[in-house]
Amino acid sequence: QKEVEQDPGPLSVPEGAIVSLNCTYSNSAFQYFMWYRQYSRKGPELLMYTYSSGNKEDGRFTAQVDKSSKYISLFIRDSQPSDSATYLCAMRDSGSARQLTFGSGTQLTVLP
């Protein structure tokens, strides 16, 4: 079993839809949770960063962390074609200061 599971998709939604992307994990030591957006043939771009449980909102993006269920989500409201990309969840524990554990990535297409 992988430490971090993420549905690879592909996921296609119409423009304006609410998108929900999710990851589950098995390591209860993970404390820091990140979402990266990666356009084709580009480097990952940090979208959201959350420590421990709770919600964080930034514009159309909301990140949720539920440590009791070992489940994190990224919601995208009013999705746009420019949101079409691969979304990677990543997480780390407080002891390992360097290494991120990535999900496999979800490929999202927002159709105009």
Q: What is the C-alpha separation between 30 and 10, in angstroms, rounded?
A: 27
Q: Which of 23, 25, 79, 103 binds other proteins (CB under 8 A)?
A: 103
Q: Which of 18, 20, 46, 57 binds other proteins (CB under 8 A)?
A: 46
Q: Interface with other proteins by CB under 8 A: which range of 11-19, 53-61, 62-70, 94-102?
A: 94-102
Nearer to other proteins, 1 or 41 (CB): 41
Q: What is the C-alpha separation between 52 and 13, in angstroms, rounded?
A: 30
Q: What is the C-alpha separation between 3 and 26, in angstroms, rounded?
A: 5
Q: Which of 12, 18, 27, 45 binds other proteins (CB under 8 A)?
A: 45
| CA–CA–CA angle 21, 25, 31 (5° rounding) | 95
